[in-house]
């Protein structure tokens, strides 16, 4: 995992990461803070999150969760659901 220079290490607690992702997606991308968004709910292929939203989501992962996402990792499989994103981030942490 590549940490961004001069910032705190990423959050490591899976539940905290999922909660942060859910809050960002519902409040910032969907503008529906009270929406019940499941951990396995399809984000991209369903159209729930569009391409601009995906870019914003990756920016959130890098800026708030402090994990740099290399271009080759920007694939649907890593960002298709909250569970997929959390698993990807956990995988990146274990790689270091």
Over residues 19-76, the pLDDT tens digits come to 999 999 999 999 999 999 999 999 999 999 999 999 999 999 999 999 999 999 999 9
Distance CA 24, CA 64 (A): 10
Who contacts 81 (Cβ-Cβ below 8 Å, separation ≥6)? 39, 40, 41, 42, 43
Considering the domain boundaries, does residue 74 fall inside one?
A: yes
Considering the domain boundaries, does residue 59 fall inside one?
A: yes
Considering the domain boundaries, does residue 37 fall inside one?
A: yes
Considering the domain boundaries, does residue 54 fall inside one?
A: yes
- Domain, as residue range, for 78: 14-94
Considering the domain boundaries, does residue 27 fall inside one?
A: yes
CATH number of the domain bearing residue 40: 1.10.1200.10
The reported pTM is 0.84
């Amino acid at each position: 995992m590549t940490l961004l220079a001069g910032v705190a290490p990423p959050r490591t607690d899976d539940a905290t990461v999922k909660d942060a992702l859910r809050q960002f997606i519902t409040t910032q991308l969907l503008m529906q803070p009270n929406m019940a968004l499941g951990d396995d709910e399809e984000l991209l292929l369903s159209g729930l999150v569009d391409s601009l939203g995906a870019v914003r989501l990756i920016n959130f992962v890098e800026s708030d969760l402090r994990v740099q996402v290399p271009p080759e990792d920007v694939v649907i499989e890593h960002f298709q659901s909250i569970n997929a994103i959390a698993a990807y981030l956990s995988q990146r942490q274990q790689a270091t």
